[in-house]
Amino acid sequence: MGHDKALLGPTDQPLASRVATALRAVGVAEVLLVGGDGGALSAHGDVWLADDRPGEGPLAAIATAASARPGRSLLVCSCDLPSVTGADLRPLVDALDGGAPAAVVEVDGRSQWSVVALSAGTATAVVASVAAGERALHRVLVERALVLTTDQPDGLRDADRPTDLPPDLRPG
């Protein structure tokens, strides 16, 4: 998009802060922001972590968070979810609470890997997979993840192009 997506939007509520608000709404006590512009992101009160493997994709970023907080479950959301709410994330949390090793939501017939919940054991497996050279999130999680369907997918659609964003968030 030509910009750090996490920082798109008004300075008091960029995309990353919107996602953090949704995470807090489902009980996430500590929001970790991996990669991007740490100074600008940490100014919103969340914990910023430098990506251990910048440019190596989402699986490596998840491994960064899992390594920083070993033994913890993770609820992972990409920064480009402009409409996500706690209600959108609740089924993922409930799946982990119910014993699923991982959970992902299906949107339009496809697993939406930009939003995934990982048990502590699965988070540890992600770290090991990245250390072994794996870079594809779906290859690590497809066998472990409970796939959830939703009849309200809008909040879980990621924004890959400026036209995917609401008008007030579009760059330039």
Any domain includes 167: no
- The pLDDT, as a whole number, for residue 2 is 40
Domain count, the chain: 1
Q: How confident is the model over 104-161, as pLDDT tens digits? A: 999 888 888 889 999 999 999 999 999 999 999 889 998 899 999 877 777 777 766 6
Q: How confident is the model over 55-102, as pLDDT tens digits? A: 888 899 999 999 999 999 999 988 888 788 999 999 999 999 999 999
Q: Which string of b and e fits 34-54 if b means at least 16 CB within 10 Å?
A: bbbeeebbeebebebbebbee
Coil, strand or helix: which one is 143?
coil
Domain CATH code at residue 152? 3.90.550.10
Any domain includes 172: no
- pTM to 2 decimal places: 0.83
Any domain includes 115: yes
Any domain includes 68: yes
CA–CA dist 145, 118 (Å, integer): 8
Q: Which string of b and e fits 149-160 if b means at least 16 CB within 10 Å?
A: eeeeeebbbbbe
Give residue 93's domain range.
5-162
Tokens 């009849």 belong to residue: 151
Any domain includes 56: yes
Any domain includes 168: no
CA–CA dist 169, 99 (Å, integer): 37
Any domain includes 21: yes
Any domain includes 170: no
Q: Token digits for 1?
A: 């998009």
Helices (H) then strands (E): counts for the chain: 6, 6
